[in-house]
A and B are shown apart, each in its own frame.
Chain A
Amino acid sequence: MSREDAVNALPTGVGLRLPHLAEVAAGTSGAAWLEAHPENFLANPHARELLLRARHDHPIALHTVGVSVGTATGLDRSHLARLRALVDELDPFLVSGHLAWSTHNGIYLNDLLPIPYDDDALRVVAANVHEVQEVLRRCYVVENPASYVAFSTSTRAETDFLAELASRTGCKLLCDVSNAYLSAANLGYDAYEYINGLPADAVAELHLGGFTRETDDAGAPVLIDTHAAAIDEPVWKLYAHAMRRFGPQPTLIEWDSALPAFAQLLSEAERADFVTHATFEGGAHARAG
């Protein structure tokens, strides 16, 4: 990847949340591109109308939080049909979701829950991803989760599970660099090795988001994926490493709660662009040297 390629890559986008919607739909946001959670728009016709207006001035990606590809009790086909209608209407350049489950026998648990990394779960997730891709008629992009606990019965590493999933289904991967950092800290492994373990050719997007340092009920430190803060310094370093490993990919700044002014999100996006350029400029110098 040359410095020129990096400069020409899509600048960093920002997550679009409802409080910023009117400002963005007015066409003055300055964001390079936007990522929206479809579940915020499917039951809100006015918001959907504004999102379609925002689409005139911004490329849009959709990031689902309710598809639940890890569920063992079957996907919600009526939700998939509604999602398909929104995809048809918006024509997003990318549709993604999480390696997680959130629904069981029709109950939605409003969280992204962990799955055991074993062959049974891989079969279930692969079948669900196939179905999502068939319904949406496009490649689905699956994100690595933010983890606080893992299953003692897992027989595969998460990176191996994701790589095998991509190989079986043709799906792409979304590397959430903050999730990689946070999960590694919470579960005691090396975040750089995690990034190195992902199949680089399958990675199609990167996410960056803020986390919160807390203490769990046993008194142990834990990082919580709150998306309620600026991106932590060590995550920026890991991001530079991810860029070197995956090449410049569409990168998104996520900020969901304690939402600041849109300008602050743009400022985080500018920093990501700076890291991208600095990473490849440095790489070019090193090669030249």
Chain B
Amino acid sequence: MRALVDLQGSFAHAMTSGDGAALGGHLRGGRDPGRRLAIHLRHYATSLAAALCDKFPASTWLIGDAAMREAAGAYTRFHPPRQPCIAEYGRDFPEFLARHPRAARLPYVRSFAELEWAVAQASIAVDAPPLSWTELTTCGAECLVESRLALQPGVHYVRAGWRVDELMQNYLSGVSPERFVLVNAATRIEVRGARGEFRLVRLDAATFAFRTTLAAGRTVGAAADAALGLDQRFDAGAALRALVDAELATASATGAQEPVR
């Protein structure tokens, strides 16, 4: 048993590092078994890098194929998958990409890749039945302040220092304008999608704080406080109504209960 654990440990190291020297003596097959091992080592690196490139086509468009392949290859060495579903692999790739020498010259690359990840996640979601205003308010005003809401699974929030939503629209349009200026400005984006479709909505700072506080599982009261801290004119009642009218809320709960319908 110990021998098998050690053998698989050496194999796993070979896969992630690309160095299979320690395994050569254990193998047979072909003229040189050590070189046959390269089939597995190559598959690890190329299949995962290809999966990342497939998952980030807009970021690939932004930084170029060669740079993306190089960054993706480096990511597979330093961040091997921790889950069997490769669809879940790459959540922290945008942060890695921003530090990679081939992309670091673009200060907005992390936000753009994070937006792309959010778009991909939103697109594969399935909407849950929305909560109605009557259902939400039936418990009364005091209870409502202490309520926590579940939002649609296809809703994601991205905060960026650049207008990366415009850059994304540019990529999605498939048309390269003669001149495009990416504005360096605080940008708060709500990504909402389901069943292969999505849309991007830019939010003001207070509404973004309100919705992201709710999305983080905190109460309606805490969300209102977060928004009012940024804008004293913020109307929490209207913001809550707008959230419900947009069918973004799916369940509510108070206390230790989870907001699950």
Q: A44-B124, A76-B84, A120-B1 are in contact. Are A148 and B39 (CB under 8 A)?
A: yes
- B1 contacts which of A76, A124, A151 (Cβ < 8 Å)? A124
Flag the segment in A107-115, A234-242, A246-254 that touches B. A107-115
* 22 A-B residue pairings within 8 Å (CB atoms): A40-B85, A42-B85, A44-B87, A46-B125, A66-B85, A104-B9, A105-B9, A109-B44, A109-B80, A110-B43, A113-B8, A120-B4, A121-B4, A150-B29, A151-B27, A151-B28, A153-B26, A186-B29, A217-B32, A217-B35, A218-B31, A218-B35
Among B1-25, those with CB < 8 Å from A are 1, 3-5, 7-9, 11-12, 15-16, 25
How far, in Å, is A96 (CB) from chain B's closest CB?
Answer: 15
Q: A110-B47, A124-B4 are in contact. Are A216 and B30 (CB under 8 A)?
A: yes
Nearest residue in B to A78 (C-beta to C-beta)? B83
Given A66-B84, A79-B84, A110-B48, 4 more pairs with CB closer than 8 A:
A46-B123, A67-B84, A219-B31, A220-B30
Among A94-133, those with CB < 8 Å from B are 101-111, 113, 115-116, 120-121, 123-124
Task: Give Cα distance in the complex from A49 to B12, angstroms.
Answer: 35
B161 / chain A contacts, CB cutoff of 8 Å: none
A218 / chain B contacts, CB cutoff of 8 Å: 30-32, 35-36
Q: Which 6 A-B pairs have the closest CB atoms?
A: A66-B84, A217-B35, A218-B32, A104-B12, A149-B29, A43-B85
Interface, chain B (partner A; CB < 8 A): 1, 3-5, 7-9, 11-12, 15-16, 25-33, 35-40, 43-44, 47-48, 51, 80-88, 123-126, 153, 194-196
Nearest residue in B to A83 (C-beta to C-beta)? B84
A151 / chain B contacts, CB cutoff of 8 Å: 7, 26-28
Is there an interface contact between A72 and B1, defined as CB atoms closer than 8 Å? yes
Is there an interface contact between B30 and A107, defined as CB atoms closer than 8 Å? no
How far, in Å, is A151 (CB) from chain B's closest CB?
Answer: 6
Task: Give Cα distance in the complex from A67 to B15, angstroms.
Answer: 18
Is there an interface contact between B31 and A220, defined as CB atoms closer than 8 Å? yes
Task: Give Cα distance in the complex from A40 to B89, angstroms.
Answer: 12
Q: A216-B38, A217-B38 are in contact. Are A111 and B43 (CB under 8 A)?
A: yes
Task: Give Cα distance in the complex from A222 to B196, angstroms.
Answer: 40
B124 / chain A contacts, CB cutoff of 8 Å: 44-47
Among A142-169, those with CB < 8 Å from B are 147-153
Q: A45-B153, A124-B1 are in contact. Are A103 and B84 (CB under 8 A)?
A: yes
- Say yes or no: is A224 at the interface (Cβ < 8 Å to chain B): yes
Is there an interface contact between B33 and A72, defined as CB atoms closer than 8 Å? no
Q: A109-B12, A110-B86 are in contact. Are A45 and B26 (CB under 8 A)?
A: no
- Say yes or no: is A178 at the interface (Cβ < 8 Å to chain B): no
Nearest residue in B to A127 (C-beta to C-beta)? B1
Task: Give Cα distance in the complex from A68 to B81, angstroms.
Answer: 14
- Say yes or no: is A39 at the interface (Cβ < 8 Å to chain B): yes
